[in-house]
Chain A
Amino acid sequence: MTSAAPFPLNGAEPQSGHRTLWPGGLKWRQARAGYLFLIPLLAGLIVFRFYAFGYNVWLSFTKAGAFGPPRFIGLDNYRRLLSDSQLVVALYNTVKFALIAVPGVVIVSLLCALLMQYRFRGESVFRAIVFLPAVCLPTAIILVFGWLFQTQYGLVNAAIQAMGSSPVSWFGSEAGVTAVVSLIVVYLSFSVPAIILYAGMQDIPSDVYQAAMLDGAGPVHRFFSITLPLLTPSLFFVILTSTIGILKLFDTVYILLPPVDHSVSTNYGLTLVYYYYYLAFVDAGQRGYAAAVSLFLLILILGVSIVLLRLQRRFVHYGEDG
């Protein structure tokens, strides 16, 4: 970028320095109108973001139930955080789901994006199908998977039995819950990444491919040495957003393993969000500790984002122009 750009890139920004903002002046009236326009947003953010965050932090230092005022207890909640075996279970499950489902989302969405590149008859039908999971009510999808994997009457176990094996208790074992939850999460979240990767593939210049074909590179070779490296910006975005999404996983495990059951299997699907929801709203009386758990999740999400952003600098190819 040249320092003496003929047009200021950000519009009027450079001028505002040498125009004074006196009340009643033209510039001031403009600005006042602008601030009036910002009031609804800023008021909402102050209440539901900044005040809410401060309140959450304060709550995490108190013992707060569903009734009565919170009582300050210092660092007790954080001490409990360090020795809570349930929290370890929730953290372990959440990280496990992310480690399995994120690669799943990447692979499935990459496959769909590759197929969307072809101009075949019925491609608009295929595209509509790819997006069905993203527009369908998640509750309905989660319930149908719960039904498919139902132990006694489910279709999946019927197929397993037809092949001569014994039925699997999908919701009665850790491996079963992990498999079903990961499958549902991938199913629910591959659609948007598919279109993002597809758009990324459209941006790869075709002369790169033509040059590679002249050199005799086959389709597999082209995919791994051109498409994948040049797609890393989109891939990175997909990995970042789906990782954050899965770290916040709640709906799937809540619907498959409802808290009313109080069964051991709830533990197989206990995620961090599910855990603090349970602490704050099911097992009322632990809202202060729940606030501490939610802050732990916030730090985890921000930490993972920062690590991924750092990795991005090393691995993501942004082309010569920056």
Chain B
Amino acid sequence: MLIQYRVQRWTYVAVSFVGLLILAPFAWMVSTALMTTAQTLQIPPNIIPSPATLDGTREVFNRLPFAILLYNTVAVSIGRVICTIIICSMAAYALAIIKVPGAKFILLVILALIMVPGDIFIIPSYSIITSMRLTDTLVALALPSLFDVFGVFLLYQFFRGVPKELIEAARIDGASHLRILATIVVPIARSGIISLAILTTLAEWKELLWPIVVNRSIDKMTLGPGLALLRGEYTTDWNVLMAAGVLAALPMVIIFLILQKRFIASFARSGLK
């Protein structure tokens, strides 16, 4: 495979061109974030803020309960990841390792449900959450997405690779299924669990429709919809909007840069069907 891909000068030209094109919006976001509102309204616009200022960043904290939004996002993501992993790994254990009677049928239902997009269920989910009196809570943000059929399928494929002998030996030693799941299966299928955790976290960060439907007060919002609300109120202060965008995007970008290999492997696995 490697032989025919000799790096030539045009490779660097093409890579730099594509790379810079992808980076350009980010660069403009950071640059605008460091301007004053007056600087953003210059014609023709200045590309580099001079002088650079943190006015916009300061203003973000005046207009938006940023710390609360960040806390909500992190709390909901962690809660959703933990619950999703528990629910999915228990189900995948029953299907892949215990192989309950009817496992094939349940798997078929799961595969069919993967095809049905969750956005279709916004209206009934809202009614269900309302009747549970959970609107305007953090629980409401995560609850309908905890039963992740794709996650079950992903873990099912990992759990199938766990050697049977290990499980039988543990059963003979008298270990309970819960114990086998926690101490044998999960460690062996670790990379599958991590992938599910990463994909679930990203899904929560990208959520927009469901949070704006189910929660009305800003104190119960996550970062994405919180930012979207800022747009509605202050259209002209682009430096504030961009500063908010940089601040909100930064945590996930840093996590990505640290765990780059894990993230890319997880993305590749999302194509596993």
| Complex interface: stretch among A41-49, A81-89, A95-103 | A41-49
Are B2 and A119 interface neighbours, CB within 8 A?
yes
Whether, in the assembled complex, A92 has its beta carbon less than 8 Å from a beta carbon of chain B, the answer is no
Q: Smallest CB–CB gap between A284 and chain B, Å?
A: 11
User: Residue on B with the closest CB to A140?
Assistant: B245
15 new A-B contacts, CB < 8 A, other than A34-B103, A118-B5, A295-B120, are A30-B100, A55-B124, A55-B127, A59-B123, A135-B252, A138-B206, A139-B245, A140-B29, A144-B32, A144-B242, A206-B1, A250-B119, A273-B209, A277-B122, A281-B126
Whether, in the assembled complex, B113 has its beta carbon less than 8 Å from a beta carbon of chain A, the answer is yes
Can you list 30 pairs linking A and B with CB atoms under 8 Å apart? A10-B99, A11-B160, A13-B99, A13-B104, A49-B147, A53-B121, A59-B123, A119-B7, A120-B11, A120-B15, A124-B260, A127-B260, A128-B256, A128-B260, A129-B23, A131-B256, A132-B253, A137-B252, A140-B249, A143-B231, A143-B242, A143-B245, A144-B32, A147-B238, A155-B28, A219-B4, A234-B271, A238-B271, A244-B117, A295-B120
Q: A35-B94, A40-B91, A153-B43 are in contact. Are A145 and B25 (CB under 8 A)?
A: yes
Q: Smallest CB–CB gap between B178 and chain A, Å?
A: 8
User: Residue on B with the closest CB to A32?
Assistant: B100
Whether, in the assembled complex, A232 has its beta carbon less than 8 Å from a beta carbon of chain B, the answer is no
From the candidates B15, B164, B256, name the one contacting A115 in the complex (CB within 8 A): B15
Are A52 and B121 interface neighbours, CB within 8 A?
yes
Whether, in the assembled complex, B82 has its beta carbon less than 8 Å from a beta carbon of chain A, the answer is no
Chain A residues with CB under 8 Å of B88's CB are: 41
Measured CB to CB, the residues of B under 8 A from A are 1-5, 7, 11-12, 14-15, 18-19, 22-23, 25-26, 28-29, 32, 40-45, 47, 86-88, 90-91, 93-95, 98-101, 103-104, 106, 113, 115-117, 119-128, 143-144, 146-147, 149, 152, 160, 164, 177, 202, 205-206, 208-209, 212-213, 223-225, 227-228, 231-232, 238, 241-242, 244-246, 248-249, 252-253, 255-257, 260, 263-264, 267-268, 270-271, 273
Are B98 and A135 interface neighbours, CB within 8 A?
no
Are A52 and B125 interface neighbours, CB within 8 A?
yes
Give bound CA distance, A141 to B248, whole Å.
11
A interface residues, how many (CB within 8 angstroms): 107
Q: A31-B100, A34-B100, A280-B123 are in contact. Are A120 and B252 (CB under 8 A)?
A: no
Measured CB to CB, the residues of A under 8 A from B are 10-13, 16, 21, 30-31, 33-35, 37-38, 40-42, 44-45, 47-49, 51-53, 55-56, 59, 111-112, 115, 117-120, 122, 124-141, 143-148, 150, 152-153, 155, 158, 161-162, 187, 191-192, 195-196, 199, 202, 204, 206, 209-210, 213, 219, 222, 234, 237-238, 241, 244, 248, 250-251, 254-255, 258, 260, 273, 276-277, 280-281, 287, 290-291, 294-295, 297-298, 301-302, 305
Q: Smallest CB–CB gap between A271 and chain B, Å?
A: 11
User: Residue on B with the closest CB to A116?
Assistant: B15
Chain B residues with CB under 8 Å of A302's CB are: 115-116
Q: Smallest CB–CB gap between B37 and chain A, Å?
A: 11
9 closest Cβ pairs, A-B complex: A44-B147, A140-B245, A34-B100, A34-B98, A52-B124, A34-B94, A37-B94, A41-B91, A196-B271
